[in-house]
């Protein structure tokens, strides 16, 4: 596991600035505290920081082939590297190391760009061909590992994190209004956009080629959209257990200590349960809980830990720990407001004391219909069949009810029945709706958003128009929320502590299998994750099957009315606030008053504003960054 970066000048008369490349590499030190390396050849350079996990002493990067015409830097793990190595050895390739890094290099020698189709893993890598003056950047199918890039004046710079890319001197430093609007809509910035103009994320399953100053991008993998109606619950359960077991065996390969995150939910418990079947020693598990009974899953984590005899460690998140938010804003490189980043940060720190690799249960909700917003959208669909005059009368009555969060939820549910289904689903993903955002934004930001006219959610939805409404919702979560929120959070928070997080449920074979299943094998009669529960019914504790989904949610709505309120007022509404350049302070005060007075639940919106302020304070200290549009 590493942090990678590089600069390739497409014009032969330009020289690379070694100090720039070194600064980029230093900004990635937390991702790879064990090793450092760089390669520079006149006008181009690649570098890395390494967290040693496989072949601890011989996997040094950048890795070169024998004649030094191919240079590779790699972040991630190729889980099936041993089988690929055997295949390549039969083809005449010889190896100097036992690392998966060298397997990528030899696979590229053999298959060129098509090597991507051979890899099972999480990765972002760069291969530079000196003779062809050709750079290949690639990101894994699902988007577990990140990769950012920018192109300027015939040169390309890339890095694992935005902070590193900023050190290249190639980022204009002006903020992207589309990204700010997306952030206050979804609480994250969807790919390919970033908070900076002219800086992009490589999408999951995408490769980029920069050859002699010319750039082209293409998708080498897409989530399959074909449903196989021949699957039954029994046949699918048997296939899932086989794929899941194989994925875990591959992802347990490590030369350093390995453990697992355990939230107490279905997915992480499944990881621990299956891991117990293939492990000869007690599993180390790590959990985070909250001082809120509606958000706390520790009781279930303890049940699972006891059931499988794990060596269990846990910690309680208290409101004062949210004050670490300023540190977290730095780790993402751009505004990010999923409040569960804080417990993810803490559980990663907890795990790092004992292990270097931790398995995570992420992906199960997207693959097997676990999210409540999808379930509620389906209930809206059912309610929409009620005659319109009756729904109109109900909605009129609800509008007369007191302004309290619980009545607001009912009003929104009722209002959703007058929307299209896709619009209702989108609203449930939305933190601040457009009319509220318009009142919140300063005039210049409103103009910038309107001028750009970019909507990533609608772009994805158009591409998925051929799917059923249920499968379209699953695909949208997989394409946006999973890589740009969930996997971004897990990567940055784990790597901040030099911890590698692996996600067995996102083995691409499981992903493709899940995409082929009829929807009724995922959700039926109000029950989510039907297949998982059936397939693992004899493995997991029965009480786990009966619990309602709670998620890894921080009780931010309550804390924003209590212990976090003074800090919010000081940072966001105080004299030293920076967000007033982009947001209307009067609108912020209105949101805060509505929330504190229990008229609305704006907890997540206020947290988003708070994190935006924290990020702006950090960003203004970066040379070349201008806090303007």
Residue 564 pLDDT more than 80? yes
Highest mean pLDDT among 26-30, 329-333, 511-515: 511-515
The fourth-level CATH superfamily of domain 2-219 is Aminohydrolase, N-terminal nucleophile (Ntn) domain (3.60.20.10)
Sign of CA dihedral 593, 597, 602, 603: positive
- How many other CB atoms sit within 10 Å of the CB of residue 352? 18
Main-chain dihedrals φ then ψ at residue 472, nearest 5 degrees = -65, -40
Q: Which of 269, 341, 258 is nearest to 298 (CA)?
A: 269
Peptide bond into 62 cis (omega under 30): yes
Render pLDDT for 93-151 as a digit per residue (tens, 0 to 9): 999 999 999 999 999 999 999 999 999 999 999 999 999 999 999 999 999 999 999 99
Q: Which of 389, 10, 430 is nearest to 182 (CA)?
A: 430
What is the model's pLDDT at position 278? 82
What is the model's pLDDT at position 550? 57
CB 276 within 8 Å of CB 307: no
Peptide bond into 192 cis (omega under 30): yes
Sign of CA dihedral 543, 547, 552, 556: negative
What is the model's pLDDT at position 494? 94
What is the model's pLDDT at position 151? 96
Overall pTM surpassing 0.85 (yes/no): yes
Residue 12 pLDDT more than 60? yes
Render pLDDT for 412-443 as a digit per residue (tens, 0 to 9): 999 999 999 999 999 999 999 999 999 999 99
Residue 614 pLDDT more than 60? yes
Residue 446 pLDDT more than 80? yes
Instruction: Just list the catalytic residues.
Output: 2
E-strand ranges in 43-196 read: 44-50, 63-64, 70-78, 121-129, 134-139, 148-152, 155-159
What is the model's pLDDT at position 13? 79
Q: Which of 491, 369, 438 is nearest to 124 (CA)?
A: 491
pLDDT band at residue 292 using 50, 70 and 90 as cut-offs: low
pLDDT band at residue 549 using 50, 70 and 90 as cut-offs: low
What is the model's pLDDT at position 52? 57
What is the model's pLDDT at position 543? 82
Residue 55 pLDDT more than 80? no
pLDDT band at residue 296 using 50, 70 and 90 as cut-offs: low
What is the model's pLDDT at position 472? 96
Residue 258 pLDDT more than 60? yes
Residue 1 pLDDT more than 70? no
Is 88 exposed, middle or buried (CB count within 10 Å of its CB: 0-12, 13-18, 19+)? buried
pLDDT band at residue 326 using 50, 70 and 90 as cut-offs: low
What is the model's pLDDT at position 63? 95
First to last CA, the chain: 35
Is 526 exposed, middle or buried (CB count within 10 Å of its CB: 0-12, 13-18, 19+)? exposed
What is the model's pLDDT at position 75? 95
pLDDT (mean) for 236-244: 97
Render pLDDT for 23-44 as a digit per residue (tens, 0 to 9): 999 999 988 777 788 999 988 9
The secondary element (H helix, E strand) that includes residue 409 is: helix 405-416
Q: Domain map of the chain by residue range?
A: 2-219, 233-369+471-546
What is the model's pLDDT at position 511? 98
d(C-alpha 507, C-alpha 70), whole Å = 28
What is the model's pLDDT at position 294? 60
Q: Which of 74, 72, 63, 67 is nearest to 3 (CA)?
A: 74
How many residues are there in the chain?
629
- How many other CB atoms sit within 10 Å of the CB of residue 252? 16
pLDDT band at residue 295 using 50, 70 and 90 as cut-offs: low
d(C-alpha 301, C-alpha 265), whole Å = 8
Render pLDDT for 160-219 as a digit per residue (tens, 0 to 9): 999 999 999 999 889 999 999 999 999 999 999 999 999 999 999 999 999 988 999 999
Render pLDDT for 460-479 as a digit per residue (tens, 0 to 9): 999 999 999 999 999 999 99
pLDDT (mean) for 262-268: 91
What is the model's pLDDT at position 289? 84
Sorted by sequence, the CB contacts under 8 Å of residue 252 that are 6+ apart come out as: 258, 275, 278, 279
Ramachandran region of residue 259, left (φ > 0), alpha (ψ -120 to 50) or beta? beta
Give the domain 233-369+471-546 fold.
Answer: Rossmann fold (3.40.50)
What is the model's pLDDT at position 257? 81
What is the model's pLDDT at position 300? 87
Sign of CA dihedral 292, 477, 433, 415: negative
* CA 230 to chain CA centroid, nearest Å: 33
Q: Which of 595, 613, 612, 589 is nearest to 557 (CA)?
A: 595
């Amino acid at each position: 596991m590493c942090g990678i970066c590089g600069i390739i000048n497409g014009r032969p008369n330009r020289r690379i600035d070694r100090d720039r490349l070194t600064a980029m590499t230093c900004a990635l030190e937390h991702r790879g505290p064990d090793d450092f390396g760089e390669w520079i050849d006149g006008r181009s350079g690649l570098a890395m920081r390494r967290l040693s996990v496989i072949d601890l002493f011989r996997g040094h990067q950048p890795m070169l082939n024998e004649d030094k015409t191919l240079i590779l830097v790699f972040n991630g793990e190729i889980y099936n590297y041993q089988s690929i190595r055997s295949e390549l050895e039969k083809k005449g390739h010889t190896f100097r190391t036992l690392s998966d890094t060298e397997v990528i290099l030899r696979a590229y020698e053999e298959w060129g760009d098509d090597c991507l189709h051979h890899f099972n893993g999480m990765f972002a890598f760069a291969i530079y061909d000196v003779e062809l003056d050709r750079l290949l950047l690639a990101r894994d199918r699902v988007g577990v590992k990140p990769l950012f890039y920018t192109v300027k004046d015939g040169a390309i710079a890339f890095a694992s994190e935005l902070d590193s890319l900023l050190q290249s001197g190639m980022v204009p430093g002006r903020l992207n209004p589309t990204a700010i609007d997306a952030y206050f809509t979804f609480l994250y910035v969807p790919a390919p956009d970033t908070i900076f103009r002219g800086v992009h994320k490589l999408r999951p399953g995408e490769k980029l080629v920069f050859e002699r100053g010319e750039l082209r991008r293409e998708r080498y993998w897409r989530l399959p959209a074909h449903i196989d109606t021949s699957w039954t619950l029994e046949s699918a359960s048997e296939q899932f257990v086989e794929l899941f077991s194989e994925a875990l065996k591959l992802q347990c390969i490590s030369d350093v200590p390995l453990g697992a995150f355990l939230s107490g939910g279905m997915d992480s418990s499944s990881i621990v349960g299956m891991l117990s079947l293939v492990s000869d020693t007690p599993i180390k598990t790590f959990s985070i809980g909250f001082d809120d009974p509606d958000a706390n899953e520790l009781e279930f984590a303890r049940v699972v830990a006891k059931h499988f005899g794990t060596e269990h460690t846990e910690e309680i998140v208290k409101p004062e720990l949210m004050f670490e938010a300023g540190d977290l804003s730095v780790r993402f490189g751009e505004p990010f407001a999923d409040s569960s980043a804080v417990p993810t940060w803490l559980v990663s720190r907890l795990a790092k004391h004992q292990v270097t690799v931790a398995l995570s249960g992420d992906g199960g909700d997207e693959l097997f219909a676990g999210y409540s917003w999808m379930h509620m959208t389906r209930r809206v669909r059912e309610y929409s069949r009620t005659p319109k005059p009756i729904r109109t009368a109900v909605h009129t009555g609800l509008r007369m009810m007191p302004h309290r969060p619980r009545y607001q939820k009912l009003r929104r549910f009722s209002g959703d029945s007058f929307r299209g289904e896709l619009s209702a689903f989108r609203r449930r993903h939305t933190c601040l709706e457009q009319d509220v955002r318009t009142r919140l934004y300063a005039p210049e930001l409103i103009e910038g958003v309107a001028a750009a006219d970019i909507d990533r959610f609608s772009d994805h939805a158009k591409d998925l128009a051929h799917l059923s409404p249920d499968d379209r919702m699953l695909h949208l979560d997989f394409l946006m929320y999973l890589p740009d929120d969930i996997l971004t959070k897990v990567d940055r928070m784990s790597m901040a502590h030099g911890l590698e997080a692996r996600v067995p449920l996102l083995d691409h074979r499981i992903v493709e299998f899940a995409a082929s299943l009829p929807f009724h094998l995922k959700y039926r009669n109000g029950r989510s994750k039907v297949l998982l529960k059936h397939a693992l019914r004899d493995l997991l504790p029965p009480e786990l099957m009966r619990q309602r989904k709670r998620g890894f949610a921080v009780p931010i709505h309550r804390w924003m009315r209590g212990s976090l309120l003074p800090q919010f007022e000081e940072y966001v509404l105080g004299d030293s606030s920076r967000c007033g350049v982009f947001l209307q302070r009067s609108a912020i005060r209105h949101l805060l008053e509505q929330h504190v007075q229990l008229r609305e639940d704006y907890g997540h919106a206020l947290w988003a504003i708070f994190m935006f302020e924290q990020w702006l304070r950090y960003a203004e200290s970066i040379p070349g960054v201008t806090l303007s549009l």
